[in-house]
A and B are shown apart, each in its own frame.
Chain A
């Protein structure tokens, strides 16, 4: 099923939950809503579910406006962060609840619930109460309950937040596989950019109720359209430096106090002569080399595969991912090579990208 949000807003008096959101979701697409806590992800999701009525705008399911359709007529499945398993019902009763409400005949209901439970690997736990299950098992029951009525749209609200790190990793893969296999359109709300990047076909980044960007993960990562998106996506986050770009001897240079780096022509052309701009560069795109910008190592944090090195250049602080074999030490002087074609530039006033803005 296709979903389209058109100028969708939700306000409670002066409190703004969602602010003129426009996006469309293709049939079978897996979309993530990504943003910090309180940015309106849940509000938007609950409007799609029919729990909240939009203050303004429209929600389309295929060719139908569903603003006033009750949740029970929308044929959606939803998984909550708290799982929201009914505590007085056992696993079977929880999973078959949507079927019972649809008045599916008893035998049919038993069969379908069992099939879904088996698919989720909890078929042997049918008699247990939610309180007798581990977090991961509860998560599976919640998924089973969302899937059992074969919904046209699956909604997830931070479903993995309550799991421990290891389980989160495996459930992440399982949910992704499940959704792709079933081919159901899905909206997945999360504040965890790794979850969004790894699972979704497209990511809608939100901030303070507004949609910031709506792109596939690689585009979001390589061509961030706003300063916020650039800073929010990626871990460790992108470095930002206020610089001025100018042309010297045929090359473009970004410079500031104790800092001078060569900028690729493509980016230089779009930023030279614009006064102060914000240069963005990811920690993995900076290399420690023999020549470049000099600085002093402030601290080294080993991450296992890489060392996260914090380097002080004049007033500025820059994070760099370095190879541990270099054996970098605190207080050591290093030179950094900033010349990468992945460098980003943003307008400090509008916070929009100078490279990818439409």
Chain B
């Protein structure tokens, strides 16, 4: 019998017997008897509604309106007669739309494949195959970029990329005759954008992968070695399949996280140098809605950019689930098998 049908069936014995001391019902029991399970859901439901669903709806409505700093206070943006798809048309007709889309794809794919996934996995594998304390030390090192306040972290990178004779990299490169000694952020901003985000992003996957690898029973690794596998073969045939689910999680989560993150890029290049060189989608939404060059914050237009980003994110996530065969990863609940 399935769990659901068991719950629905009247008069079934409770799945989890309730315990109470000395005849006094516990707070949980009283809540349950008065409000049913909704009593327990309520606090989380209120939070999610207030801080997620309502803002999402507002953004969606805003994206249909033409609200900006000029008509703020006069435009009744919440009335359907003031709604249109003009903002969306404007986005697709924007001359820089292909550039921004391309930038976003390049930024997300490169950072994810080079750092947030690959480096994270390699660090996790390396630090779990060496002596415990050494491994721990190196993982802490990789956490430092994440622990450093963004502004300080970006200032460090700007120092690294600065022009000769102050820039750290240029102090190495110029004597070797490489480059012109100019500001490297101007010359080639993309490697820096990816490095800056990747160095922070790698630690997330690193932590998840490390704990997943350490949770694999040691017997599997020993068995694999005795069966004749090299370390690389053990990784490929035993470790990677065992951490398939964390891998899916990290890739999905980090894709969404990279799609929506822009603060490092804003601080480092602010989308430049020049027009839209490193401008990504989330940064555009921010620039349109909250930090317009001309002081005219286009809330409605910016919201439309944000809404499309959410749609892209949802599509990406569902593709991942399909590719990784999500339903096969989720095991049948044992309770049904009993």
Stretch binding the partner chain, chosen from B81-89, B109-117, B148-156, B220-228: B220-228
Stretch binding the partner chain, chosen from B51-59, B179-187, B236-244, B258-266: B236-244
Confirm or deny: A169 has a beta carbon within 8 angstroms of a beta carbon on chain B.
no
Which listed residue, B219, B228, B237, touches A80 by the CB 8 Å rule? B219
Confirm or deny: B274 has a beta carbon within 8 angstroms of a beta carbon on chain A.
no
A82, B228: Cβ atoms under 8 Å? no
Residues of B within 8 A of A51 (CB): 222, 225-226
Which listed residue, B222, B228, B242, touches A46 by the CB 8 Å rule? B222
**A interface residue count range (under 10 / 10 to 19 / 20 to 34 / 35 or more):** 20 to 34
Query: Separation in Å of the B219 CB from the closest CB of chain A?
Result: 4
Query: Separation in Å of the A1 CB from the closest CB of chain B?
Result: 15
Residues of B within 8 A of A71 (CB): 225-226, 228
The interface bits of chain A over 13-54 (1 if a CB of B lies within 8 angstroms of the residue's CB, else 0) are 000000000000000000000000000000000100111000
Alpha-carbon distance A316/B64, docked complex (angstroms): 95
A78, B226: Cβ atoms under 8 Å? yes
Alpha-carbon distance A49/B227, docked complex (angstroms): 10
Confirm or deny: B233 has a beta carbon within 8 angstroms of a beta carbon on chain A.
yes
Query: Separation in Å of the A189 CB from the closest CB of chain B?
Result: 14
Residues of B within 8 A of A155 (CB): 226
Confirm or deny: B208 has a beta carbon within 8 angstroms of a beta carbon on chain A.
no
B219, A84: Cβ atoms under 8 Å? yes
Residues of A within 8 A of B230 (CB): 70, 72
Alpha-carbon distance A50/B225, docked complex (angstroms): 9
Residues of A within 8 A of B226 (CB): 49-51, 71-72, 76-78, 155
Residues of A within 8 A of B222 (CB): 46, 49, 51, 78, 80, 84
Alpha-carbon distance A71/B217, docked complex (angstroms): 18
Alpha-carbon distance A175/B61, docked complex (angstroms): 72
Confirm or deny: A101 has a beta carbon within 8 angstroms of a beta carbon on chain B.
yes
Query: Separation in Å of the B247 CB from the closest CB of chain A?
Result: 13
Confirm or deny: A149 has a beta carbon within 8 angstroms of a beta carbon on chain B.
yes
Binding site of B, secondary structure by majority: helix, strand, loop or mixed?
helix
Alpha-carbon distance A194/B140, docked complex (angstroms): 50
Count A-B pairs with CB separation below 8 Å.
60
**B interface residue count range (under 10 / 10 to 19 / 20 to 34 / 35 or more):** 10 to 19
Alpha-carbon distance A72/B230, docked complex (angstroms): 7
Alpha-carbon distance A97/B220, docked complex (angstroms): 12
Query: Separation in Å of the A144 CB from the closest CB of chain B?
Result: 12
The listed residue with most B CB atoms (<10 A of its CB), out of A76, A77, A101, is A101
A145, B242: Cβ atoms under 8 Å? no
Confirm or deny: A102 has a beta carbon within 8 angstroms of a beta carbon on chain B.
yes
Residues of B within 8 A of A78 (CB): 222-223, 226
Complex: chain A residue closest to B244, CB-CB: A88
A101, B242: Cβ atoms under 8 Å? no
Residues of B within 8 A of A86 (CB): 220, 223-224, 237-238, 241
Confirm or deny: A98 has a beta carbon within 8 angstroms of a beta carbon on chain B.
yes
Query: Separation in Å of the B320 CB from the closest CB of chain A?
Result: 19
Complex: chain A residue closest to B233, CB-CB: A101
Alpha-carbon distance A149/B225, docked complex (angstroms): 14
Which listed residue, A49, A50, A72, A88, touches B229 by the CB 8 Å rule? A72
Complex: chain A residue closest to B238, CB-CB: A86
Which listed residue, A72, A84, A88, touches B228 by the CB 8 Å rule? A72
Alpha-carbon distance A72/B223, docked complex (angstroms): 10
Query: Separation in Å of the A64 CB from the closest CB of chain B?
Result: 18
Query: Separation in Å of the B319 CB from the closest CB of chain A?
Result: 23
Residues of B within 8 A of A46 (CB): 222
23 A-B interface contacts by CB (under 8 A): A49-B222, A49-B225, A49-B226, A51-B226, A70-B230, A72-B228, A72-B230, A76-B226, A77-B226, A80-B219, A82-B217, A84-B219, A86-B220, A86-B224, A86-B241, A88-B241, A97-B227, A98-B227, A101-B227, A101-B229, A145-B223, A145-B227, A155-B226
Interface set of B (CB-CB < 8 Å, partner A): 217, 219-220, 222-230, 233, 237-238, 241-242, 244
Interface set of A (CB-CB < 8 Å, partner B): 46, 49-51, 70-72, 76-78, 80, 82, 84, 86-88, 97-98, 101-102, 145, 149, 155
Knowing that A70-B230, A78-B226 touch, tell me 6 more A-B residue pairs with CB under 8 angstroms. A46-B222, A70-B225, A80-B219, A84-B219, A86-B237, A101-B227
